Amino acid sequence: MEEIHTTRMELLQRKQQMKLAEQGRDLLKRKRDALLIEFMSIVDVALQASERLQKAAAEAAYTLAVAKAVDGTATVKAASLATKGEVLVEMKGSYIMGVPVPEIEKKSVSRSMLERGYSIVGVSSRVDEAAERFEKEVDAILEVASVETKLKRLGEEIQKTRRRVNALDYIVIPNLINQVKYIQMVLDERAREDLFRLKKVKKALERKKKGRAEKTPILLSY
């Protein structure tokens, strides 16, 4: 247990610590509330991005099934093996309420038929459409990944800030309040004892003074 010195200086220090703790708690609460507002706004964006991804995935799966059914699985597989590409992703950072948040900057993976690598005369429009739909799905995946990365970082910071606020609200500040009360109580008790002793000394001095006055001889003149 922390040692508490019951002095006036210690009392002033504890009161100052309590004031700083309350100010810090209020700042953290404002930060937490601002982060929650930002988090909820990004949640809406994430839901919209997720819906676009689901739609893109369904369309890609449908066009692939059609291409396999009409052109044959072997043809579709040969076209997929001939196709080469890469997904370029660049990570940057931004700040929200002083919190570093990663930003994923991507380039679209959508390409023209000539850029996909397979022979344009060797595949049908159905294979081209399937390739296009899957490229759109990859774009949608990258968009969702970017938004969810923000949400994860903000969510972690909100939880951390909430824990700090709770620690100040339920541990640090109550302890300081109790310490201030304890020191004040001891100082008040000490002041009462000092006052009591002073009164006793005063009475003793008054009795002594009165006794001396009674013993002083009175000289009479004739």
- Residue 40: CB atoms within 10 A of its CB come to 10
How far apart CA 10 and CA 7 sit, in angstroms, is 5
CATH number for the domain formed by residue range(s) 29-166:
1.10.287.3240
Give the angle 25-30-35 at the CA atoms, nearest 5°: 120
Alpha-carbon distance of 155 to 148, in angstroms, equals 10
Closest to 10 in 3D by CA, of 187, 208, 191, 206: 187
Q: What is the pLDDT of residues 153-202, one digit of tens each?
A: 999 999 999 999 999 999 999 999 999 999 999 998 988 888 888 888 87
Spatial contact of 168 and 24, defined as CB atoms under 8 Å apart: yes
Instruction: Considering only residues 218 and 58, tell me which one the structure prediction assigns the higher pLDDT.
Output: 58
Give percent helix, percent strand, percent coil of the chain, each to the nearest 5: 75, 5, 15
What is the model's pLDDT at position 19? 95
List, for residues 52-77, the tens digit of each pLDDT value: 999 999 999 999 999 999 888 888 88
Write the pLDDT tens digit of every residue in 84-110: 777 777 778 788 778 888 877 777 777
The amino acid at residue 137 is E
Give the separation between CA 220 and CA 175, rounded to whole angstroms: 73
User: What is the rounded distance in angstroms from the CA atom of residue 89 to the CA atom of residue 81?
Assistant: 23
Which stretches does DSSP call E strand in the chain? 89-96, 99-106
- 114's tokens: 């000539």
The CA R_g of the chain, rounded to the nearest whole Å, is 40
